[in-house]
């Protein structure tokens, strides 16, 4: 018996429409998760209160608000101050990954990701947040 | 009696002079015994006349001079060899209190009533000695400083001739003082500074306008061996005995400049490496993005996540296909960038009719028009315009400009293409009536991997390299790629290329 809630609701913000589509299939159909995807930070933040995700996945490089900017915005919102955030990025140099972790993300998933295991990878990260 | 009065008068005058002058006057007999001393002499040695009278004058000298004195006198009297008589010189005196002091002594010989006598005039020069010693020490210090400092110090007259140089200046220029003393200082400068120097100096002397005096600056020096070197020069002006002189302090800064140059070179290399690293990181990011879609779509199909033959499967195949194209475009663009940066882009130059070229451009890029629901139109172009270009490369630029114009146009809008003669050039223009380029982005339009921030996904499908490559291609043709953009009205890109004048029989 786990001492914390199972992961069900994820918000994923990604500006690349094709990646959004494949990630949705990976998380929803393979991972049986309740996922909402958005194209940008403004859209994501507009529906976050209604959806109340347990975990948020953010692309790093996006026009308008980028991933790190959305993260700092979330940290000012009382309801999402402690919500785990994962960065998903094609910026994969070790120093870049280290930099993203320092910004307060619980983990970084690099692109290309594995659609068949993406949901399990996210669940594993969710578990480490509750150790 | 009158004669007696005159004698008395002369006597009292002489007495008054002897008693009041500041120099001590001592008379001695030919046996060296003191006969008279004046008050100044009493004062100088601290004895009264009574104490000195009849004593050997050697008592006023410390050893070893005391012993030598009798010898001198005897020698003179027996041989007539004047060692000290009639010659002023510096000796040492001995006061009553036992202290010694420097004194200047002048001895003269006289005969009074057939008796040979000697008069010594003595002057206490202790004070003068102290001042002299101080000056000598000051001079020695100054000389030591000038001899040992690493900066070269050169003094020149107001006519520009070298008066002194210190050892450092000798070393810096490779000359000895005797080789350059009295010569014009401009010999230490290479042309053209040499000829300018006399102008500076006479200009300053005539107008008082200080161009270089009091201001340190970097100039070029000329060594004896003919080599030149960078030096830092500070000139100051001074007056010595009413004569205007200039002092130049020179410092050889070759080493410093070499170090600075090395530092700049190292920093340039670090900067280049950083740009290269950033480029590779960006390329990696740009390649991974379409690859992520391709790989995920295919893995989902292979993993039987979607039903075979379903719309969802078709959509995933289409994603993989579309992103493969994008990956290919990106790789081609990166190869072009690599060619541009290593200056290996070859041009296959041909004489090209502008009109025919633009007609081809419009038909070849029709797919962009259809994709973005716009119409390309050749607005105007004279039949007689020719350019000397690589048609494939110029077509690559046209495709880039036309696809951009199509992407940023409203549906059913017209994208106009035109060419016109402008002096010796041909200007090709691609004009859209889109939203215009945001001011904040205009300065970065031609940078690598840049795209204006926009929420319209349709506009984000490029590689961000197109305009950078286009500009490089046009510049490789010695032409120019520029743009004019008005927010809300549209954008025009201009290609300016040199017109090729038509020659007969060369079509």
3-state DSSP of chain A: CCCCCCCCEEEEECCCHHHHHHHHHHHHHHCCCEEEEECCHHHHHHHHHHHCCCEEEEECCCCCCCHHHHHHHHCCCHHHCCCCEEEEECCCCHHHHHHHHHCCCCEEEECCCCCCCHHHHHHHHHHHCCC
Cα separation, B406 vs B410, whole angstroms: 8
Average pLDDT, chain A: 93
Look at residue B67 and give its three-state secondary structure. helix
Q: What is the pLDDT of residue B456?
A: 45
| Alpha-helix residue ranges (DSSP H) falling in B54-207 | 65-79, 126-148, 167-173, 177-180, 193-207
Q: Evaluate if residue A47 carries a pLDDT over 90.
A: yes
**Once rounded to an integer, what is the mean pLDDT over residues B49-66?**
88
Q: Evaluate if residue B212 carries a pLDDT over 90.
A: no
Least reliable range by pLDDT among A126-130, B100-104, B168-172, B338-342: B338-342
CB contact under 8 A, A113 and B285: no
Under 8 Å between Cβ of A52 and A71: no
Q: What is the pLDDT of residue B506?
A: 45
Residues B360 and B494 in one domain: yes
Q: What is the pLDDT of residue B459?
A: 44
Please list the residues that pair with A56 across neighbouring strands.
Answer: A11, A85
Beta pairing, strands B414-422 & B375-380 = parallel
In a domain, residue B507? The reply is no
Residues B367 and B487 in one domain: yes
Kind and range of the H or E element at B280? helix B254-302
Least reliable range by pLDDT among A122-126, B56-60, B113-117, B194-198: B194-198
Contacts (Cβ under 8 Å, ≥6 apart) of B301: B313, B316, B317
CA B490: distance to chain centroid? 49
Domain range list for chain A: 9-128
Q: Evaluate if residue A33 carries a pLDDT over 70.
A: yes
Q: Evaluate if residue B504 carries a pLDDT over 60.
A: no
Q: For residue B293, give the CATH number of its domain.
A: 1.10.287.130
B448 confidence band (pLDDT: 50, 70, 90):
confident
- For residue B189, with 0-12 CB atoms within 10 Å meaning exposed, 13-18 middle and 19 or more buried, which class applies? buried
CB contact under 8 A, B300 and A19: no
Q: What is the pLDDT of residue A2?
A: 63
In a domain, residue B68? The reply is yes
Residues B366 and B493 in one domain: yes
> What digits encode the pLDDT tens for the residues B232-247?
888 888 888 888 888 8
Q: Evaluate if residue B363 carries a pLDDT over 90.
A: yes
CB contact under 8 A, B303 and A40: no
Residues B358 and B304 in one domain: no
User: Measured between CB atoms, does B462 come within 8 Å of chain A?
Assistant: no
Domain endpoint, select from B232, B252, B272: B252
Contacts (Cβ under 8 Å, ≥6 apart) of B94: B45, B59, B60, B61, B62, B66, B100
Measured between beta carbons, the chain A residues lying within 8 angstroms of B299 are: 114-116
Domain range enclosing B239: 149-252
Residues B380 and B313 in one domain: no
Top pLDDT among B15 and A22 is at: A22
In a domain, residue B505? The reply is no
Top pLDDT among A45 and B281 is at: A45
Cα separation, B107 vs A22, whole angstroms: 124
Residues B39 and B118 in one domain: yes
Q: Evaluate if residue A1 carries a pLDDT over 60.
A: no
Residues B218 and B302 in one domain: no
In a domain, residue B136? The reply is no
Number of A to B CB contacts under 8 A, please give it.
Answer: 89
Domain endpoint, select from B223, B252, B281: B252
Look at residue B177 and give its three-state secondary structure. helix
Residue B383 tokens read as 């039949």
CB contact under 8 A, B292 and A29: no
CATH architecture of A9-128: 3-Layer(aba) Sandwich (3.40)
CB contact under 8 A, A19 and B296: yes
In a domain, residue B139? The reply is no
Contacts (Cβ under 8 Å, ≥6 apart) of A49: A79
Size (chain A), residues: 131
Q: Evaluate if residue B113 carries a pLDDT over 90.
A: no
In a domain, residue B431? The reply is yes
Cα separation, B380 vs B417, whole angstroms: 8
Residues B408 and B488 in one domain: yes
HEC states along B335-389?
Answer: HHHHHHHCCCCCCCCEEEEHHHHHHHHHHHCHHHHHHCCCEEEEEECCCCCEEEE
Share above pLDDT 70 across residues of chain B, in percent, rounded to a whole number: 94
A→B interface, C-beta within 8 Å: 15-19, 21-23, 25-26, 29-30, 39-40, 61, 63-64, 89-93, 96, 111-116
In a domain, residue B293? The reply is yes
Q: Evaluate if residue A126 carries a pLDDT over 80.
A: yes
B211 confidence band (pLDDT: 50, 70, 90):
low
In a domain, residue B112? The reply is yes
Question: Which of B286, B292, B454 lies at the smallest CB-CB distance from A113?
Answer: B292
What chain B residue is nearest to A89 in terms of C-alpha separation? B285
Residues B494 and B363 in one domain: yes
Report the gap between the CA of A77 and the closest CA in chain B (Å). 25
Q: What is the pLDDT of residue B1?
A: 57
Q: Which of B14-28, B182-196, B408-422 has the highest mean pLDDT?
A: B408-422
Residues B39 and B13 in one domain: yes
Q: What is the pLDDT of residue B453?
A: 53
Residue B63 tokens read as 């050893």
> What digits encode the pLDDT tens for the residues A78-110?
999 999 999 999 988 888 889 999 999 999 999
Contacts (Cβ under 8 Å, ≥6 apart) of B168: B149, B150, B151, B152, B153
Residues B408 and B337 in one domain: no
Top pLDDT among A3 and B289 is at: B289
Measured between beta carbons, the chain B residues lying within 8 angstroms of A18 are: 290, 293, 297, 319, 322-323
Q: What is the pLDDT of residue B112?
A: 82
> What digits encode the pLDDT tens for the residues B119-169?
989 988 888 888 888 999 999 998 888 888 888 999 998 888 999 999 999
**Once rounded to an integer, what is the mean pLDDT over residues B456-470?**
70
CB contact under 8 A, B289 and A16: yes
Residues B335 and B230 in one domain: no
**Number of domains comprising chain B:** 4
Domain endpoint, select from B200, B220, B252: B252
Average pLDDT, chain B: 87
Q: For residue B22, give the CATH number of its domain.
A: 3.30.450.20
């Amino acid at each position: 018996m786990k001492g914390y809630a199972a992961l069900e609701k994820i918000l994923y913000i990604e500006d690349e429409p094709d990646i959004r589509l494949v990630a949705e299939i990976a998380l929803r159909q393979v991972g049986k998760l309740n996922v909402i995807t958005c194209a940008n930070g403004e859209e994501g933040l507009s529906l976050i209160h209604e959806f109340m995700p347990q975990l948020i996945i953010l692309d790093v490089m996006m026009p308008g608000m980028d991933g790190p900017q959305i993260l700092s915005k979330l940290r000012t919102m009382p309801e999402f101050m402690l919500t785990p955030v994962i960065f998903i990025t094609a910026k994969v140099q070790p120093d870049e990954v280290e930099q993203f972790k320092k910004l307060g993300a619980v983990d970084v998933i690099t692109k290309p990701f594995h659609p068949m295991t993406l949901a399990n990878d996210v669940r594993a990260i969710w578990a480490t947040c509750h150790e | 009696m009158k004669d007696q009065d005159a004698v008395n008068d002369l006597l009292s005058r002489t007495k008054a002079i002897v008693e009041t002058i500041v120099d001590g006057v001592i008379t001695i007999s030919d046996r060296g015994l003191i006969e008279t001393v004046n008050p100044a002499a009493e004062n100088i040695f601290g004895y009264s006349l009574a104490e000195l009278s009849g004593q050997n004058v050697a008592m006023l000298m410390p050893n070893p001079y005391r012993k030598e004195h009798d010898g001198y006198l005897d020698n003179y009297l027996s041989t007539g060899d004047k060692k000290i008589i009639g010659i002023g010189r510096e000796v040492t005196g001995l006061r009553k209190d036992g202290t010694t002091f420097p004194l200047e002594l002048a001895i003269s010989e006289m005969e009074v009533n057939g008796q040979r006598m000697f008069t010594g005039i003595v002057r206490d020069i202790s004070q003068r000695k102290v001042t002299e010693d101080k000056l000598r020490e000051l001079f020695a210090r100054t000389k030591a400083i000038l001899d040992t400092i690493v900066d070269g110090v050169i003094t020149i007259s107001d006519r520009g001739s070298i008066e002194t140089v210190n050892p450092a200046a000798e070393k810096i220029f490779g000359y000895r003082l005797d080789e350059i003393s009295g010569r014009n200082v401009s010999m230490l400068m290479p042309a053209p500074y040499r000829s300018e120097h006399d102008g500076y100096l006479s200009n300053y002397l005539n107008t008082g306008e200080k161009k270089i005096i009091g201001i340190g600056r970097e100039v070029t020096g000329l060594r004896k061996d003919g080599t030149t070197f960078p030096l830092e020069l500070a000139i100051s002006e001074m007056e010595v005995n009413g004569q205007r002189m200039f002092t130049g302090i020179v410092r050889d800064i070759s080493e410093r400049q070499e170090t600075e140059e090395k530092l700049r070179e190292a920093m340039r290399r670090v900067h280049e490496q950083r740009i290269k690293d950033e480029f590779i990181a960006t390329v990696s990011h740009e390649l991974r993005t379409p690859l992520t879609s391709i790989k995920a779509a295919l893995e989902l199909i292979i993993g039987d996540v979607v039903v075979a033959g379903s719309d969802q499967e078709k959509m995933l195949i289409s994603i993989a296909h579309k992103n493969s194209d994008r990956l290919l475009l990106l790789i081609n663009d990166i190869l072009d960038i690599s060619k541009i940066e290593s200056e290996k882009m070859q041009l296959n130059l041909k004489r090209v009719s502008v009109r025919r070229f633009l007609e081809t451009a419009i038909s070849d890029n029709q797919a962009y028009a259809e994709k973005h629901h716009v119409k390309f139109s050749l607005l105007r172009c004279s039949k007689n315009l020719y350019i000397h270009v690589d048609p494939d490369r110029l077509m690559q630029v046209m495709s880039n400009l036309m696809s951009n114009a199509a992407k940023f146009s409203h549906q059913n809008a017209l994208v106009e293409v035109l060419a016109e003669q402008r002096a010796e050039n041909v200007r090709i223009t691609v004009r859209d009536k889109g939203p215009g380029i945001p001011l904040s982005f205009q300065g970065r339009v031609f940078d690598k991997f840049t795209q204006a921030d926009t929420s319209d996904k349709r506009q984000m499908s490029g590689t961000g390299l197109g305009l950078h490559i286009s500009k490089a291609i046009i510049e490789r043709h010695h032409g120019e790629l520029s743009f004019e953009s008005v927010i809300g009205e549209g954008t025009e890109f201009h290609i300016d290329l040199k017109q090729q004048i038509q020659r007969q029989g060369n079509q």
